Amino acid sequence: MLPEGTRLTGSSSFADYLASTAPELMPGAASRSNGAHSDLAPHATTIVAATFDGGVIMAGDRRATMGNVIAQRDIEKVFPADEYSCIGIAGSAGLAIEMVRLFQVELEHYEKIEGTVLSADGKANRLAALIRGNLGLAMQGLAVVPLFAGFDLETQQGRIFSYDVTGGRYEEHSGFHTVGSGSVFARGSLKKLYSRSLTEGDCVTAAVQALYDAADDDSATGGPDLTRRIFPVVSVVTSDGYRRLADEEVGAIADDVIGGRLVRPDGPAAPLN
Amino acid sequence: MSQQFYVSPEQLMKDRADFARKGITRGRSVAVVEYADGILFVAENPSRALHKISEIYDRIGFAAVGRYNEFENLRIAGVRLADMRGYAYDRRDVTARGLANAYAQTLGTIFSSGGEKPYEVEIFVGELGEDAAHDQVYRLMYDGSVADVQGFGVMGGQSEQVEAYLGEHYTTGLDLAGAIKVAVTALGQDTDPVRTVEAAALEVATLSRSRPQPRKFKRLTGADVEAALRV
């Protein structure tokens, strides 16, 4: 038998349907207590995104930390949201991954029910609503702060949206953005490396450089792991859709970056003026 | 005081079945054909917006005939059921069998309950397997009965003539163009003399194993269909 409520006409939102029929499955629904818990659950760290002519790239390091302990070395923090967008997560890893799963179903659900894809702004707004739903836990130290990027099929360009814990949604017009504990260092690095004329490949190199700089100064961000061959997750979204770069491709770029750092550990020098 | 006349249960069910069947035969037929690379759905449907064929989940497709509002209602319920199950458990745990069972029970309950009128719909639910031998297609009737479809199936309109043609001309292991051709020719058998169905009046979709994405459902454009018919 089709479950109660499935045959009622309602909204095209899976999250709304879930909240009304199975609220216990909403991300973070189980825990409602007082006090700060930020050290009890793994935290995911640095994500960078940058646009180029014809698309956008997003990259994330592979480390999750729990207090001073490295909880996982090969966690993945960049996911496809649908065919033309991707989402990277920083903050409380368990909650964030659950939120990504819900967001993925949300977009696919809308697409199937309505027979058309959401606009880029529509997707960004839905994500803002999901983050706002997590505000209670964010106040206890279990915040989720994703970075959303996608290829806008209407304007034919890559776009980046950042968020705060209250669900505030901000479009980044500078062409790049970073989130997570190492984001200040990664942003400083990208400021010097990024320009709008970069190609897709250049953007990937700049992102790997920025993650290296973040790992250099932030203990919660992992650098390229040469012994285990663990490299950042790098995704590219263009008019052809979402594509995750193969480990070999990222590995080759990371090897180049590290080769340069052996000569100059602080990375490429920017001209003084 | 009005007198309630006795109506035997047999007569009651027969009347309801006749009513549902009449509604279903008014529309054009929908055909489903298993081919080498997956499952093909073909419907005669001049509308580009009101679909008879849709995606339910990664490997599950849906086709319907009858009253639009009723099968649309069932389609949305199916998408919700599938998405909910995939979210609560895992994407691999969403199966056509589970969905067909849910539809069968819903249709059966509506059919035999006195309150609602029976749904005037018939539905195909198809699931793509790892190989052709594991493809599954279920046919659901207005009264909740389920049948397992082997190779090909037709419902709606003058489905007997269409099914007879497919029975004669269908072979296993067809390629996509061959499957489209035989299905489209079959849909034209519902009148005497036989007619040719134009590509523009067709809604065609596949569940295809060769699609690299996890979501295997794909709508074919008019140009794709025309190219297949020309071969």
pLDDT at A39: 64
pLDDT tens readout for residues A239-273? 999 999 999 999 999 999 999 999 999 999 988 98
Mean of pLDDT values over B198-208: 93
Mean residue pLDDT across chain A: 90
With an 8 Å Cβ cutoff, are A102 and B87 in contact? yes
Alpha-carbon span B76 to B186, nearest angstrom: 29
Cβ-defined contact of A109 to B79 (cutoff 8 Å): yes
What number is the average pLDDT over the span B89-102? 95
Average pLDDT over residues B79-90: 94
Marked catalytic residue, from A6, A9, A45, A199? A45
| Separation CA B151–CA B170 (nearest Å) | 8
Give the residue-averaged pLDDT of B189-217: 91
- Using a CB-CB cut-off of 8 Å, the residues of chain B touching A105 are 83, 86-87
Each residue of B25-46: pLDDT tens digit?
A: 888 899 999 999 999 999 998 8
Neighbouring CB atoms inside 10 A of A78's CB total 24
Which of A2, A18, A83 faces B81 most closely, judged by CB atoms?
A: A2
Smallest CA–CA distance, residue B206 to chain A, in Å, is: 15
Q: Does the structure show a pLDDT above 60 at B134?
A: yes
Share of chain B above pLDDT 70, in %: 99
- Kindly report the pTM of this predicted structure: 0.90
**Which three-class secondary structure state does DSSP give residue A133?**
coil
Give the list of residues 6+ apart from residue A8 with CB closer than 8 angstroms, or none. Answer: none
Residue range B225-231: mean pLDDT, rounded: 88
Give the integer Cα–Cα distance in Å for A206 and A195.
10
Could you give the 3-state DSSP secondary structure of residue A197?
coil
In sequence order, the β-bridge partners of residue B63 are: B53, B124
Contact A115 B49 (CB under 8 A): yes
Helix runs in chain A, H state only? 14-21, 93-114, 120-132, 135-139, 183-193, 200-217, 247-263
pLDDT in tens, A103-154: 999 999 999 999 899 999 999 999 999 999 888 887 777 888 899 999 999 9
Of A198-207, A254-263, B56-65, B195-204, where does mean pLDDT reach its minimum?
B195-204
Q: What is the mean pLDDT of residues B99-104?
A: 95
Stretch B197-222: mean pLDDT:
92
In A114-133, the residues whose Cβ lies within 8 Å of chain B are 115
Q: What's the mean pLDDT when you consider all of chain B?
A: 92
Tell me the chain A residues in contact with residue B81 when contact means C-beta distances shorter than 8 Å. Answer: 2-3, 6
Closest among A171, A151, A144 to A160, alpha carbons compared = A171
The pLDDT value given to residue B174? 93
Q: Looking at residue A8, what is its pLDDT?
A: 63
| CB-CB contact of B73 with B62 (8 Å) | no
* CA-CA-CA-CA dihedral for A173, A176, A179, A184, to nearest 10: -110
Share of chain A above pLDDT 70, in %: 92
Indicate the pLDDT class of residue A31, thresholds 50, 70 and 90: low
Question: Best mutation site among B56, B80, B105 for testing chain A: the one with the most A CBs within 10 Å?
Answer: B80
A14 in reach of chain B (CB within 8 A) = yes
**Structure letter (DSSP) for residue B61:** E
CB atoms within 10 A of CB A271: 5
pLDDT at A32 over 60: no
- Cβ atoms A230, A74 nearer than 8 A: yes
Rg, C-alpha atoms of chain A = 19
Q: Identify which of A9-18, A52-61, B39-48, B184-193 has the greatest average pLDDT.
A: A52-61
**Residue with token string 């949305």:** B76
